[in-house]
Chains A and B, each alone.
Chain A
Amino acid sequence: MERAESQSPLQADRLAPVRSLLRAMIVPVASVVVALAIGAVIIALSGANPLVAYSALFEGGLGSGRAIGRTLEKATPLIFGGLAVSLAFKCGLFNIGAQGQLLLGAIFAAFIGFSLQGLPAVLHIPLALLVGAVMGAVWAAIAGTLKAFTGAHEVITTIMLNFVAFNLTDWLADGPWKDRSPGNIVARTPAVAPEARLPDIAGVPLGMILAVLAAIAVWWLIWRTTIGFELRTVGQNASAAKYAGISVRRMTVLAMVASGFLAGLGGAVETLGVVGRFQPGFNVGLGFQAITIALLARTNPIAVIPASLLIGVMQAGASRMQFNSGVASEIIDVIQAIILFFVAADSIIRWVLRLRAEEGERVTLSSGWGS
């Protein structure tokens, strides 16, 4: 919840960034360790062996080349989601709707992917990605605009828009954009054209490369540009921002648009890189995972990458864990929630480890309804 001063562009002491980076890592790392320990207790309570379960979990996520590939695959949309939530946090906005924005991005990328035929990959891929990202941005812009002009709180509107997005994409995939090929009875779109599928570059999936580039771009935007300064100022003190001549409304819409763009891009990457078409029920839970990741990374865009990889490992290994130890894969949701609890209530960990509270920018959301 608090940001270490490590990213501050104005830093006098050259070693200070390293030291404060290490200090900033203590709470997240301790949170993960404690959450895994509590998860072990829950597993034991439900009658399974936590050691067996955890070793299967990490084997399934890291144990082989294929396992690592699966982890990267799972982590990619998580990075986009984590970036989306982190960026909104910087502007004091809580985007719980990454899920819905991702769905919109995914189905529109699929639509561009299957409806255009014969386009070369260099055009088809960027176009599909862009349309997906823009649709995510449009979806988030609804919540941003409502917040800016009517004061409707984004936590409620984005959640509600998630439900609308479920219904909308469900209808599209079961109606106008349904896969009409013989034998198909389920709601899904046709497969995207081969030219629209994301290739691997030097053995690394293009989606992952895009995710890392997006993280760097978001970091640069937040810490090195005047737009980032404006976003952060609104997030830290909207009233002072207004007095300094920054349009709070404009930044609110802009932050949501950028956040939705990232989430939509995540959906498009997933569709074009992994699934190859749109199916309802796609990536359920990503919205919540993205929140855990953003707070675990303390809204630092670069730290979103390792945080996403960690959650990615758990997701990739969950089915093996269920197979080997009989522990339901939902335990990883419980562990994630406990991680979130400890990074949010970091005073517990600080008290146990006798750490002092950090200074600097904070995420503050509870400014109430409206205005």
Chain B
Amino acid sequence: MTAEPEIVLEARNITKRFPGVVANENVSLKLHRGEVLALLGENGAGKTTLMNILYGLYHQDSGEVLIRGEPVRISSPSESIKRGIGMVHQHFMLVPVFTVAENIILGAETGNGPFLDLKVARQRIRELSRQYHLDVDPDAYVKDLSVGQQQRVEIIKALYRNADILILDEPTAVLTPQETEELFAIIRSLTARGASVIFISHKLKEALAIADRIMVLRRGRVVGETTPREATERSLAEMMVGRSVMLEVEKGEAHPGAPVLTLENVTVLDDRGQQVVNGVSLEVHAGEILGIAGVQGNGQTELVEAITGLRPVHSGRVRINGRDVTNASPRRISETGCAHVPEDRQEDGLVLTYTVADNLVLNTYYTPPFAHGIVRDDRAILDHANRLIERYDVRTPGALTLVSALSGGNKQKVIIARELSREVRLLIAAQPTRGIDVGSIEFIHQQIIAERDRGAAVLLVSAELDEIMALSDRIAVMYHGRIVATLPAASATREELGLLMAGAQPVNAASELATDGHEPVNVQRRGV
């Protein structure tokens, strides 16, 4: 080992502007052979933009990129692929209706003249799969794979193209803690064979666990560079946000009251007619937060849709405040005092071409004072908007600005303001802080806790285990459409939850965890 290994990738003074924002300003980085460089920053800090420039999806306004010391102009992904760069995007770039092999060879097809021949490709995929312990079946359809498996397909896709510089964009966002461990093992075996990895994340723990070096971006600038040995979670958090932040959410004791939401044996079908919620029963009480933990795609989305009337309940009962609202219309359920912060705010929570004011009455426009009969009262709508903008600290030029012009955090505040400005007895919040800045996250967390303390029942669904653990009073774990366990939040551990999320039997899991230390979980030992 030499003291200074070869620099495989270097960016010098990269600047990239989008209308209205500078996404990257004078950003420079170096990546050495065989190292893991963590690129840390909160949402909107410019990490993904920088990587898209290195991968040829965008072109920088100024600055240069060098690969193995040679200045290059990467104008398209095919160029970066040719130069050995592979990228695993945060939202996987896989065609769901294609097989694994078809996805991997896409763009680098093998065959007989124009005709496809997958035989050679399957062979290569199996070899790679063996070499790096990436267990995937080349003939499975991608839509049938778990997210963890899909991620491996993405990694093989890059390796198939002989990539030795791998960019992983928020790779752990959708994984269980155990799957994250497995990914780290894969990353280590990659670097051991001479590959270099850029690991993009906003999760401090993970950066400290996997990286050789850590670079922190804030508002498009590099604000610091460190190593896991020198840094702590607290120091990284301060670098990322630019001020000291609370790593813990402050909340007092819960005082649960009567049940507000009651589910009895609820089953729900997805769009393809598959049963994705299998007999869920649970209660959420007034004055408590019930968090649903689980890997994305285990039925949480459909469960929330069924409760809020957006998707038919196939069998079972849904009660709110004792009233049966099974398969009632979304309007009727909303009128029982059920507020809903939807998972996909751009798509489902807002009309982007409407003003902030219109979005703030999106589900109350027909009630007084906003309407008299069928006639709208624009004055009342505007006054209402101005009040909420102030109370919820929505950063907007005005109530008549189109909501599309707002930042992610402020868009989410518009939704929170709209939903909480009514009398709320049940709050259903799905992924309430996904992809927004730390300031907005803190604000939204405070609002959710305030709602609980006011006596509302809160059902929180989040893919972020940390968020679930920080906010919930009780945690229900969902796996394959079932609630596999419900635990008090105070005593739940990450490991335990992670195992449950991966489908471990609750009783066994508990007993194995109890003996943790003497008798590690069998599944894992065999895996490694």
Contacts and interface: CB of A to CB of B under 8 A. Distances in A.
In the complex they form, do A and B come into direct contact, defined as C-beta atoms under 8 angstroms apart? yes
Interface of A: 8-12, 224-227, 229, 233, 236-237, 239-247, 359-362
Interface in B332-366: 334, 340, 342, 347-355, 357-358, 362-363, 365-366
A245 B374 contact: no
Given A226-B365, A245-B331, A9 B376 contact: yes
Contact of A244 (B347, B363, B398, B404): B363
A237 B355 contact: no
B376 A243 contact: no
Interface centre among A224, A226, A239 (most CB of B within 10 A): A226
9 contacts: A10-B382, A10-B399, A224-B375, A226-B371, A226-B375, A229-B358, A233-B362, A240-B347, A245-B330
Contacts of A241: 351
B105 interface: no
Contacts of B363: 243-245
A244 B358 contact: no
B93 interface: no
A239 B347 contact: yes
Contacts of A227: 374
Given A243-B308, A244-B362, 15 more contacts: A8-B400, A10-B355, A10-B381, A224-B375, A224-B376, A236-B351, A236-B352, A237-B353, A240-B347, A241-B351, A242-B310, A243-B349, A244-B330, A244-B363, A359-B404
A8 B355 contact: yes
A243 B342 contact: yes
B378 A10 contact: yes
B353 A360 contact: yes
A74 B340 CA distance: 51
Contacts of A225: 374-376
B302 to A, nearest CB: 15
Interface string B389-410: 0000000001110101000000
Nearest to B378: A9
A244 B348 CA distance: 9
Contact of B402 (A240, A245, A359): A359
Interface string B173-217: 000000000000000000000000000000000000000000000
* Closest 4 A/B residue pairs (Cβ): A245-B331, A244-B363, A244-B362, A225-B374
Contacts of A245: 329-331, 334, 363
Interface centre among B310, B329, B352, B376 (most CB of A within 10 A): B376
B399 A240 contact: no
A236 B329 contact: no
A239 B348 CA distance: 5
Interface residues of B, number: 35
A241 B349 CA distance: 9
A237 B329 CA distance: 18
Interface string B484-519: 000000000000000000000000000000000000
B330 A361 contact: no
A10 B370 CA distance: 13
B436 to A, nearest CB: 19
Contacts of A233: 351, 354, 362
Nearest to B402: A359
A361 to B, nearest CB: 5
Contacts of B330: 242-245
B226 to A, nearest CB: 43
A124 to B, nearest CB: 31
A237 B351 contact: yes
Nearest to A2: B353
A241 B363 CA distance: 8
A226 B331 contact: no
Nearest to B344: A239
A5 B214 CA distance: 47
A360 B352 CA distance: 9
Contacts of A9: 376, 378
Contacts of B342: 243
A34 B225 CA distance: 59
A64 to B, nearest CB: 44
Contact of A10 (B350, B362, B365, B400): B400
B371 A240 contact: no
Interface centre among B329, B353, B371, B382 (most CB of A within 10 A): B353
Contacts of A247: 329, 331
Contacts of A237: 347, 350-353
Nearest to B309: A245
B412 to A, nearest CB: 14
B350 to A, nearest CB: 6
A240 B378 CA distance: 21
A259 B358 CA distance: 25
A139 B446 CA distance: 54
B310 A243 contact: yes
Nearest to B366: A226
Given A10-B355, A10-B357, A229 B365 contact: yes
Contacts of A229: 358, 365, 376
A236 B352 CA distance: 8
Contacts of A224: 375-376
B353 to A, nearest CB: 5
A130 B398 CA distance: 45
A89 to B, nearest CB: 14
B348 A243 contact: yes
Contacts of B355: 8, 10
B438 to A, nearest CB: 27
A239 B378 CA distance: 24
A370 to B, nearest CB: 11
Contacts of B400: 8, 10-12
Contacts of B352: 236-237
Contacts of B378: 9-10
Interface centre among A227, A240, A360, A362 (most CB of B within 10 A): A240
A362 B402 CA distance: 13
Interface string B446-480: 00000000000000000000000000000000000
B416 to A, nearest CB: 14
A109 B138 CA distance: 66
B321 to A, nearest CB: 18
Contact of A226 (B334, B353, B374): B374
Contacts of B348: 239-240, 242-243
A227 B376 CA distance: 9
A360 B353 CA distance: 5
B448 to A, nearest CB: 19
A226 B382 CA distance: 15
A236 B354 contact: yes
B468 to A, nearest CB: 23
Contacts of A360: 353, 402
Given A244-B363, A247-B329, A362 B350 contact: no
Interface centre among B340, B365, B399, B402 (most CB of A within 10 A): B365
A240 B362 CA distance: 9
A11 B378 CA distance: 9
Interface centre among B347, B351, B363, B404 (most CB of A within 10 A): B351
B352 to A, nearest CB: 7
Contact of B358 (A10, A12, A243): A10
B424 to A, nearest CB: 15
Contacts of A10: 355, 357-358, 378, 381-382, 399-400
A240 B310 CA distance: 11
